Amino acid sequence: MKKTIGNIFVGLMYLILYLPLLVMVVFSFNAGSSTSVFKGLSFKWYVELFTNSTDVGVPVRNTLILAVVSAVIATVIGTAAAVYIYYVRSKLWKNTLNTVTNIPMMNPDIVTGVSLMLLFVFVGRLVGAVNSLNFFTLLIAHITFNIPYVILNVLPKLNQTDPHLAEAAQDLGSTPTESFFRVVLPAIMPGVTSGFMMAFTLSLDDFIISYYTTGTDFQTLPLYIFNMVKKPVKPHIYALYSIIFLLVLAVLLFTNISGMKDKKEKK
């Protein structure tokens, strides 16, 4: 009984989460160009995506690369940071670190974007570069706003883990490094994973910070879309996201079916 209520609740939540997605998929088959008036079924936007040079392939690829790379680096630095913060003894230093961690989240994107741009320009001037912004400044910016989310996902898991576990491992002869990788890391893995997911997600859709920290040679999909201000969003973007959505679903389904007999949960 309780389980059914729980499942219904979760089902409803998913329904609401996916409602706009479903509307998007429906409108990707819109014969017209409107996002609010449905004029009949048509595949033309899909055909459009695959045949005409709509310059959307490159931004998509760029966005994916940027998201994966910045999420990976942020996860590594962030996890290490969370471990460090966890073991810090001084209350003052700990609180300072926690506050500094939250700062990138506190500023509106435009302030973060402009202040990073100013920093990069300053460095660029020092080095005498013509273009102070490029893929690397964009990457740095993304890693910077991703790290707090990783830390905030890993820290609770560290708090949950029995600190004596790591000590016990060392008492039994492991080096500190071994005890970290074999004992602590597996215990906090769910936090690391959700931190990575969040970082990846944030990177995928970032617009304002990206605008102010990217150069001329790296256009991302959000920039491509958000700058469609004077004109309405064309449905071929809907088709693009519908395809991505269906692809991810397909991969999920595939791995679910194939991995039915999974190994038991590690302790």
Partner 1 sequence: MKNRTFLQRIIGAPYIFWAAVFIVVPLIIVVYYSFTDAAGNFTLDNMKNLSDYGQIFRDSILYSLAATAISLILAYPFAYVMSRKREKTQQIMMVLVMLPMWMSLLILTYSWMNILERQGIVNTFLTKIGLSPMTLIGTPGAVIFGMVYNYIPYMILPIYSVMSKIEPSVLEAAEDLGSGSVSKLYRVILPLSMPGVVSGITMVFVPSVSTFYISQKLGDGKILLVGDIIERQIQGNYNYNSGAALSFVLMVLIILSLALMKLFAGEADDSLYV
Partner 2 sequence: MKKILSVMLVILMAAVPLTFTACGANAAIEEPRAVYTRDYAGTTLNVFNWGVYISDGSEGTLNVNKAFENLTGIHVNYTTFESNEAMYAKLKSGAVSYDVIIPSDYMIERLISEDMIQPLDFSKLTNYDLIDDSYKGVFYDPDNRYSVPYNVGMVGLIYNTTMVEGTPDSWAVMWDEKYADQILTFDNPRDAFAIAQFLIGVDVNSENKADWDAAADKLKEQNKVLQGRVMDQVFAKMEGGNAAIAPYYAGDYLVMVENNEDLAFCYPKEGTNIFMDAACVPKNAQNYEAAMLYINFLMEPEVALANAEYICYASPNTAVINNPEYEYYENEILYPAPEDMPVTEYFHDIDPEIRSYYEKLWESVLLAD
- Rule CB under 8 A: which residues touch partner 2? 32-37, 39, 48-58, 60-61, 64-65, 68, 114, 117-118, 120-121, 124-125, 130-133, 193, 211-212, 214-217, 219, 223-224, 226-234, 236, 243-244, 247-248, 251, 255, 259, 262-263
Amino acid code (one letter) for 130: V
Q: Please identify, among the stretches 42-50, 52-60, 126-134, 235-243, the one whose residues bind partner 1 according to the rule CB under 8 A.
A: 235-243
Q: Provide the minimum distance between the beta carbon of 119 and partner 1 in the complex, in angstroms, as a whole number.
A: 6
Task: Tell which one of 62, 112, 146, 210 touches partner 1 (CB under 8 A).
Answer: 112
CB neighbour class for 201 (10 Å; exposed up to 12, middle 13-18, buried from 19)? middle
Nearest residue (CB) to partner 1, 218 versus 235: 235
Alpha-carbon distance 215 to 200, whole Å?
A: 21
Alpha carbon distance 199, 73 (integer Å): 10
41 has which bridge partners? 30
State how far the Cα of 217 lies from the Cα of 223, in Å rounded to an integer: 13
Query: Nearer to partner 2 by C-beta: 175 or 193?
Result: 193
Residue 199 Cβ vs partner 2, minimum distance, rounded to whole Å: 13
**What is the smallest separation between the CB atom of 101 and partner 1, expressed in angstroms?**
8
Number of other CB atoms surrounding residue 31 within 10 Å: 14
Return the SS3 of 251.
Answer: helix
Please, which residue, 185 or 247, has the CB nearer to partner 2?
Answer: 247
